[in-house]
Structure 1
């Protein structure tokens, strides 16, 4: 294990887990009583070791040699299978699950920190594990005991993998338009027929079986999302091992994330089992979707973080140019980290990725301390957890390319792949625009605005304790509160939501400013370069980044409806 990694910062993870979030205190809870700081560190150790040894080395190979389909089976470079086998043998797939399922009941926050190593090291290979985990968690929550035995246990052992099958070519994210249908059989099982599109991990030879969770409409069910049910459709029959009517129609070829198969699937009278009750499929699927949204946000942070670390290392080694005030052409060149614009990009990137990492781990810890208040706060934060890192941590990868200069735009350096891989996260599991509609249209208005009130209360309570920076954050929180009330004063959703993306950007930046106040407080009174770096990044974000929300809120306050009123013919 290297002392300093360019995959992720172990020092930052430890600061957030132990000096800020006090993850050790979770061991006082019955569920986590068997754990300690030592066991948490052991999981972090093994995660870093496997990520750097077994995942990172084939990241480029998986990108350059994406999966192929010969009409019968999918071929993937062998390193992927070997890495997933090591991952499974480590016990990490089951680490967060209940003991009665063979799990180790690791806290969500520690498990999330562990899995970030794999997402940063190789997002393509780690995606198979992430999807499988979400699939298994959904079935543990909503499946029968028999379904858990049949499908979840093999997933936790690494023998099966899992997917989520929502989108269809004609429907995309509009799930009310799903047409895949399910016919109930006399024995109580179902037969599923239809097509699904953009299914990550939808076919491969990496596991004994692939367990698809499929949204479909039972014959006679009503139109819209209320008519959707959720079905378990294995790729192969568990008894015979024969193909179960799940046909790979083709692979999609992506700009990034190339190591993960992305498929077009045809379900041809495929045998299926109902999950829970008919008509509640989307409700069940949101269990996996919300986990996946947090996972996508985490992946965006991980890719932005590794891009930042690569750029920082390069900037300290790359000699080019001289300080502005040095007029001696024979003076030796300086490291580019000395140049102000490079420093600007590095510092902004640091503020994005370390702020985003704090948000991801904070959200994970809310899962470890369930309560009506924490559940509501997490529900309110989820669109931001997914969308903010997908935009701003991707900008860290953009900066990494710029800092590398012409080299960054070549495949000889890894930063261009980080950017391409990260670009998908703004689309995965609901686009940024959909997250914006969810935040402004549902999350901040539900329960009479209780979620927004809770969020702003948490922000204000911390801001009041940080006089150096808190006043600006308190002022921004007041503006967000007033703007939200103004947008919904007339009760007109069409007008209120027309600039929802601007609202998401503004609230997202406010939330990250809060995360930086939290880190400032955790670093208070502590000395050393690491803590000075935390204070520097906190000052930067509040003074350079938080002011961005002013014009966004001005636009929202103006009641502008240009995007609603325009005629698309005017676009050309």
Structure 2
């Protein structure tokens, strides 16, 4: 029976028939791996996700964490699932062997972790944050910090968080006020302040929680250049380290992940790297988390699509417009054109988004100045596009289920609620739009955008569907050049730019998949070819009005006055 969590057939196609991940074993880092080890990791990921994560997804949602003023209570299945996950070695899968890692390619690990995000996004969030925390410290921490904090995370004994936002600052990190005062005797710091929206910030799922905290040392300059990064454990030698849970935030979705308000009262903190470079270090974790958020959006959209597809094939209702006999038996709703429209659109969103996730993960496995630049340019799209369009797949899933989809008796309403958060955390869609248009496509004289468009054009020139994509590349390049003349006006409509660029990138992903499918026979490959055609002919044209708006130099939002809003 086909899984409704994720499609192993699609993963195999993308990994082996398109991206040729087996070729990575020719690199020294991955030399001990093979197709067999990759498949083994994928097999065990599916098994654990379906056995230990998926069964408590609904229970997680209905029984969100509670706080009695002293401790947080979470359903026991969460801790069990995380222990099984850690014991599998998947948490340390991509890390260096010297730290207990398995040096698995990032692209394979990303495919593996998608099973957990699709099966239970709330429980998987603890593992995602811990892995990203550990990766930051492996890159920027000292040997002593790695031994003391990272090894226990790899072993599954500690979990990790990232503490950026504050109640008064939100996403504006320039306004962070948490203070760090040097302790003249020990060389450590005392951290005082409040942090808000901290996922996984308090619980009893692990022996300790390692917070990575942005704070400002006395005398540091204003703005982000004055921020430093500190390791602040929840416990030191088994005792509270001045980190207090002030309360839990009650969310629309992602309910199984504690989301906390934390108070730091002269908590002991250990400086990571140098003072004043905190945000630079934190971007290591933030970018990993942003890609993880995009992947989570894909996973939730994908499982929603699979549930909708199964339902549409089972649900009998209505008759074809050509049926004249009212007594004729009803047909499966998948036979109705509007249902097919929603299913095909959803397929293009989630399978296109999945392809983008794995493509970017492989860029990490083949580092080079060019690949690093391309990934940097793509990161805002990787985070924001699936958060919007794969959520639309969950919206379609509710619609396909009809009234049932709007009830808690079916899981698709939870998928939608869980997915809604992905447009907010780790930088809202609007912030990603500003990053793309204000930084990524302008840096180094536009080298990142030029590289991206070169890659897209190279694919389009090989494809029968390539002409509209080539035209879209030219149009985006021309619009971007025009926007550079007046950045202030351009950034007003940055979201339209992100949507247009994102749709062009997904069209590229579909041309790539269609080329990989070639003329291979069978329904799976037929599905890839028709999905590519649909996206290029039905979805890509959406970018025309977006680029028209940008070309017009429209300043309506710039000129809009608060009073006019009522």
Structure 1 counterpart of 2:4:
6
Gaps of 5+ in 1: none
1:4 CA drift (Å): 1.1
Could you tell me which of 10, 17, 20 is aligned with 2:18? 20
**SS across alignment from 2:240:** coil
**SS across alignment from 1:267:** strand
Give distance in 2, aligned partners of 1:123 and 1:447: 37
Structure 1 counterpart of 2:210:
211
**SS across alignment from 2:448:** helix
1:496 CA drift (Å): 1.6
Give distance in 2, aligned partners of 1:525 and 1:558: 42
Structure 2 counterpart of 1:475:
471
Matches within 5 A, 1:171-320: 171-186=169-184, 187-237=186-236, 240-320=237-317
**SS across alignment from 2:39:** helix
Structure 1 counterpart of 2:488:
494
Give distance in 2, aligned partners of 1:412 and 1:118: 22
Structure 2 counterpart of 1:103:
101
1:210 CA drift (Å): 0.1
1:168 CA drift (Å): 0.2
Structure 2 counterpart of 1:350:
347
1:480 CA drift (Å): 0.1
Matches within 5 A, 1:418-457: 418-457=415-454
1:329-379 Cα deviation digits (max 9, x unpaired): 100000000000000000000000000000000000000000000000000
Give distance in 1, aligned partners of 2:102 and 2:484: 46
1:431 CA drift (Å): 0.2
1:459 aligns with 2:453: no
1:110-163 Cα deviation digits (max 9, x unpaired): 000000000000000000000000000000000000000000000000000000
Give distance in 2, aligned partners of 1:561 and 1:503: 15
Give distance in 1, aligned partners of 2:98 and 2:81: 27
Give distance in 1, aligned partners of 2:519 and 2:337: 28
TM-score (norm 1): 0.99
Give distance in 2, aligned partners of 1:202 and 1:327: 62
- Root mean square deviation of aligned Cα: 0.5
**SS across alignment from 1:497:** helix
Structure 2 counterpart of 1:69:
67
**SS across alignment from 1:331:** coil
Q: Which contiguous aligned blocks of 4+ residues in structure 1 show a shift greater than 6 angstroms?
A: none
Give distance in 1, aligned partners of 2:17 and 2:164: 40
1:508 aligns with 2:502: yes
Give distance in 1, aligned partners of 2:560 and 2:304: 39
1:395-421 Cα deviation digits (max 9, x unpaired): 000000000000000000000000000
Give distance in 2, aligned partners of 1:385 and 1:92: 23
1:428 CA drift (Å): 1.0
1:327 CA drift (Å): 1.9
**SS across alignment from 1:194:** strand
TM-score (norm 2): 1.00
**SS across alignment from 1:264:** strand
Structure 2 counterpart of 1:568:
562
Give distance in 1, aligned partners of 2:301 and 2:432: 20
1:493 CA drift (Å): 2.4
Structure 1 counterpart of 2:87:
89
Give distance in 2, aligned partners of 1:566 and 1:397: 33
1:149-189 Cα deviation digits (max 9, x unpaired): 00000000000000000000000000000000000011210
